Amino acid sequence: MELLSSALLAAFPHGFTTRRGGTSGAPWESLNLGGAVGDAEPAVEANWRALREATGLEFARVRQVHGDRVVVAREPGPPLEEADAVVSVRPGLAACVAVADCVPVLIGDPRSGAVVAVHAGWRGTLARVAARAVAALGREAGAQPGDLLAAIGPAIGPCCYEVSPDLAQVFRADLGARVAEPRGGGSRLDLWLANEIVLRQAGLCRERIEVLGRCTACEPDAFFSHRRERGRTGRQVGFIAPSPPCVS
């Protein structure tokens, strides 16, 4: 199984899955970790089992609804609660979000070891779900935004994400002109940069945010892409588990 990672988050067990290394058939081939996308349940379960075995972690998931709610995970299990960010303070229990173009953001607090995983499509980005996640780490673990480390994982990039002029204007007004620059008669939305700006406005330092820069729509062999496949595709995940707190 191939897992992408962030050098910044090296102290935390974490990763971003690709579509490679699973058991699902077309069009979900092969490491589909999304339920309710039409794939056979036994295949999805086998893929989850493989991820648990490869990482030694358990996974806490949420029912993602493109909102800004953050929940604190207590137990591993299937996505039952509606939220778009999940905090974990329990070693071995990974906070996990599923995506196929939307942005997975992983955040860790090196002082307390607490973590949060965030799902941010365009709605969640505008709702500043990543900033809500930062605030939740403060409430749950006393985390200071300036200490936090974050990785913005594989998602549809500005190369491929064409949006309506109206939506582009909303983003420009809210997060600055650079997040939705006109190109080729349309506007391309940069959700990587938009979430980086949301995190920086929430108090994170620029040098403590890594943008992986991998576009899900550009790499059909590596990633599921909702837009490229017109909705008929699987899900990859981003996950992060607490690390032992450092004393500094």
Closer by beta carbon to Zn ion, 145 or else 157: 157
Q: How far is CA 133 from CA 106, 115, 233, 238, in A?
A: 10, 9, 28, 15
Which residue, 160 or 222, is less far from Zn ion as judged by CB? Answer: 160
Measured from the CB atom, the residue of 42 and 182 that comes closer to Zn ion is 182
Site for Zn ion in 137-176 (CB under 5 A): 157, 159-160
Closest separation between CB of residue 86 and Zn ion, Å?
27
Longest dimension (CA), the chain: 53
Show the site string, 212-241: x = touches Zn ion by CB under 5 A, - = not. Answer: ---x-xx-----------------------
* Residues 117 and 96 sit within 8 Å (Cβ to Cβ): yes
Structure tokens at 91: 């070693």
Instruction: Quote the CA–CA distance of 214 and 101 in Å, as a whole number.
Output: 10
Given its phi and psi angles, is residue 203 left (phi above 0), alpha (psi -120 to 50 degrees) or beta?
left
User: How many residues at the interface with Zn ion, by CB under 5 A?
Assistant: 6
Candidates 70-78, 93-101, 108-116, 209-217: pick the segment binding Zn ion (CB under 5 A): 209-217
Site of interaction with Zn ion (CB under 5 A): 157, 159-160, 215, 217-218
